[in-house]
Amino acid sequence: MGKISSYPAMTALQGPELILGDQSGATGTTTPTAVAAYMAGLTTTPVLASYARTAAETAAGVTPVNYAYAPGDLRRYGGDPTGVADSSAAFLSAIKTGFAFIPAACSFYISTSQAVTGQVTIIGQGPTSKLLCDTTVLTVTNGTGSFVDNFWMENITAPWIITRDPTNWSANILGTLQQSNTVLGYQPTVNDADIWGSLTTAQQNQQVGPQIIFKGSASDITVSRIFGRFVLVLIQDATNSTIRDCDVRGGKGEWGTLQFDNWTNEVQRGSGNRAINNRVQYGSFSGITFMANDDFVCQGNQSFLNGESGTKTVQVQGVQFTASVGGATSGTISVPAGGLTNGTWNFIFADGESRSVTVTGSTSCSWTGALTVTSILSASAYQGNINPQCFRGLITNNSTYENYYDGLDCDSTFNTTVDAARTYHVISQNSSYNNGGDGVNTDGRYNTVEGNRCYGNRSYGIWNLSSYSQITGNHLLSNNTQNGSSIAELLGGTQANVMSLNKILFSASAGYPIYAPQIAGQIPHVIRDNFIIGGTAFYGNPSARFSVLENNIDDTTGSFTLQSFCFFLQNNAGTLQHVFYSDGGAASTGIADRISGETSGGYTNTPTGTDSSTAFASGAKVSTTVPNAIVFNTGVQDPPNSQMVASLVYNTTTTALIVRPRMASFDVNGVTQSRLIFELFNASTGAPVAINTTNIGSGTLIQIQFYGRFV
């Protein structure tokens, strides 16, 4: 978990310590010559504490300026703790020895970016240990084992910033543009399309704020407890490294405030990198970013009010073939507007095959080695030696809110129809709310999206375009605050997903709680035990539903819900009458009848007129088209998917009867659709028994108990 508790022993780093003379208000010197003279008895002039030149300083060619301060202390090398004079040279001297110490209540101005190679250790004493810098403080190359901990960094020059209103993402914010170090906001980027064209070139190109950069082949780097304003921490090219317990207002950068970037320099893929328990706000781009990382951890972070997303995994271009490509060495691809640039691309296909592909004319492509799969393929496409996509991430217990884009953007491609990457992410137990985009984004394959809480986001709760994934136990509340007609709380994905036990409280006036229609030619989903209040899920039109649907509950029609009721039919002095009895209080859980117009208050005369011109009364009528049937006023039904049982539990007529529930199409009062019906048959002969006052004689009744699932 990093080195947060493994602080270097100061005595081991500082070298020999000499404390000589009376230091209670005494004046004296700390030069090695004076110390030697005092010890030899050649002078009685008192000396203050003095730390001899260390072997590390000698090896680095560093000569201390003030020996009163311990090795590594910037004041030892001439640093100005008031922050007025430039301490760049002092900082470099300390870094060259491998150890820099920033004392409490000291501020050091760094005007010039410094660069070193090899392991470094930088330690402060909390937020009052400060480095002041407008640009890169330090670049470390091949810094395996480096340890940076417990100090503050801040800019000097006030940058141009903008401030967005999370309660009104579409508000015109040009009026908030100002130069300030104290007003909360972030430096604008191209993501701020609504104002970008109104900015001057200087405002667009500004890059104000201190940053620490690690690059080159390295491992086991720890950056912890960094505090400050307009800060960037960039760990490039490293493995098994950690950024943790930082609390910063983010800088501009290019991708994110706290960043693991194993793509830009193409040195090596990241593996085992971790962002843990950080707090990031007002970064110009995303709060925490991973690029070309495998088996990474993003855990327990709080990321909010950033100019892009709270947490982001970088994406590549997605492409899709428009025809069968089995055995082919060339083809045509479908890509977003603009196509791919001509040249050589690396394609990773959804079936796991990879090819170096030559693209011409944006959509024509060719490669060496025939593809084996005969179906339509999607692919991820990138250029260079390292794939920027991330795989097998553990993204858990993060809180992301009020970011301009998404809360957790865990996508692998930026074509919204491609699921090619085998990402294997676990996205679990995160909270994502009031973001300007989606709560959680995920695509690729074999992901687990479990136990997340997404609410009040402007667009989707969970934007899911993955396949072969599990989306389980998420709580989605009142997302789609923009009321987009094509937006869902939960987007179902491409194929073969399991969506279960998700609870959705839907409050938008448009869109869907769940939108998961089957995509032609793809493996069906399994969608079960989801609970929706306030809306109707959409799993495709009845004739086009292929997913396995079980025990999904919503408010009205559109999903199969549990139905339970008792139906009584009696002959009252020559008039057929009916009444329903059900647990009306169970409507919120779906275990109640959904017969339109039915009441349990008392018997209603049962209509027996011609079907096509006679309306229902209290939800039912006797059919004239099928005389042994009672027709119910249900929604449009999907007969192949009906699952139900009806039992005749009480019968005072003179004929032994059985009842058969089924779905059938009827024209009732001019409306033709498939509805629920009960048919009566003779229990002995199986012959239909017409429902009339002869077969149900005066003073007799039948009671039918129903339990089942229908729309």
pLDDT at 297 (0 to 100): 98
> Distance between terminal CA atoms of the chain?
51
**Alpha-carbon distance values, 637 to 277, 430, 569, 641, 704 (Å):** 51, 38, 23, 9, 21
pTM: predicted TM-score of the whole model, two decimal places = 0.80
In the predicted model, what is the mean pLDDT of residues 685-701? 96
In 3D, which of 266, 273, 270 has the Cα closest to residue 384? 266
Residues 271-285: tens digit of each pLDDT: 999 999 999 999 999
β-bridge partners, 379 = 319, 349
In this structure, of 318-332, 385-399, 412-426, the range with the lowest mean pLDDT score is: 318-332
Pairing of strands 114-117, 136-141: parallel
- Going by pLDDT thresholds of 50, 70 and 90, the confidence category of residue 18 is very low
**Residue 42: its pLDDT value, please?**
62
CB atoms closer than 10 angstroms to residue 532: 27
- 35 or 17, greater pLDDT: 35
DSSP conformation class of 9: P
Task: Locate 212 and state its tokens.
Answer: 């620490």
Average of per-residue pLDDT values in the chain = 89
pLDDT at 195: 97
Instruction: State how far the Cα of 655 lies from the Cα of 345, in Å rounded to an integer.
Output: 78
How deeply is 521 buried, as exposed, middle or buried, from its count of CB atoms within 10 A (0-12, 13-18, 19+)? exposed
Query: Which tokens belong to 459?
Result: 């667009």
- Measured CA to CA, the distance from residue 611 to residue 608 in angstroms comes to 8
Q: What is the pLDDT of residue 569?
A: 97
* The pLDDT of residue 541: 78
Mapped onto helix, strand or coil, the DSSP state of residue 284 is coil
For the CA atoms of 146, 148, 149, 155, the dihedral, rounded to the nearest 10 degrees, stands at: -170
Quick one: pLDDT at residue 633?
A: 92
Q: Name the band, by pLDDT with cuts 50, 70 and 90, for residue 233.
A: very high
pLDDT single digits (tens) 522-545: 889 999 999 999 998 998 876 667
- Using DSSP's 3-state secondary structure scheme, residue 39 falls into helix
- Is a pLDDT exceeding 60 seen at residue 68? yes
pLDDT above 50 (res 15): no
- Residue 663 phi/psi, 5° resolution? -105, 135
Percent of the chain residues past pLDDT 90, beyond the cut: 74
- Percentage, residues of the chain above pLDDT 70: 89
The two tokens of residue 363 are: 């959509």
Beta-strand ranges (E) seen in 369-424 are 378-382, 394-396, 399-401, 408-410
